Amino acid sequence: MISLKTWNAFVDLIFPRVCIGCKRHLNFYEKILCIGCRLDLPLTHFQKNRKNPLFQKLKLNFPLENATALFYFEKEGKVAQMIHQFKYLDQRHLGVYLGHWLGDTLLESSNLKKVDGIIPVPLHPSKKRKRGYNQAAIIAGALSEKLKVPLVKKTLIRVKRTQSLAQIGYDERWREVDQAFEFNKPLPKEMKHVLLVDDVITTGATLTACARALLKKNPLKLSIVSLACRL
């Protein structure tokens, strides 16, 4: 009987997989990224320190329990390349892969692994129809699997179709997302601490608008996570 290791090696020979970072062939034990590229990515390690720079930045805008991101965001780097493919080129498996990686780091944190529910930043319905999926929901789903915590859908909705925030300046971003989100339905009573999930944090405007909509009618503890952040 052929072992799984032998079978995977045979499949890789016939249908070679390549690293999304450097494009070299992956070994049978590697997935998505080769070990070299994995080690080269700019991890923040923010989960190890509650009072990290991202927490300090966001806590100025709303009451916050914890905040972390897996990577630092560099505009032309491998992280940006992966997130672009995941977000705009229908590479949903990348979101699951990175979401599981983020989940592993949350399990290292005594604060971030103790949440009652996970809420993705919602897309406007028209944008979701065009893209076919909500990237934040895919990340949140992967986190739900890792943390064994329920994914909460439709509690927060996007009522304003905003333009792409990447194309506008700092002040315009805050005006664009003002009142863009609304609280839609009550959370289960047992959910006292929720995790709000997005793909990339830059100014923090989107997450601030989401947080204010959630906290307006809920006495919650709120933590924030994302795949990447730019400080």
Instruction: Quick: pLDDT tens for 38-90.
Output: 999 999 999 999 999 999 999 999 999 999 999 999 888 899 999 999 999 99
Task: Express each pLDDT in 101-133 by its tens digit.
Answer: 999 999 999 888 889 999 999 999 898 999 999
User: Is 208 within 8 Å of 56 (Cβ atoms)?
Assistant: no
**Is residue 137's pLDDT more than 60?**
yes
The pLDDT score that the predictor gives to residue 129 is 92
Q: Rounded CA gap, 101 and 3, in Å?
A: 27
Collapsed DSSP state (helix, strand, coil) of residue 215: helix
Strands 221-229 and 156-158: unpaired
The pLDDT, as a whole number, for residue 7 is 44
Q: How would DSSP label each residue in 192-211?
A: -EEEEEEEEESSSHHHHHHH
89-105 pLDDT, tens digit per residue, is: 999 999 999 999 999 99
**pTM score:** 0.90
Q: Please, are residues 36 and 22 in contact by the beta-carbon 8 Å criterion?
A: yes
The whole-chain average pLDDT of the chain stands at: 89
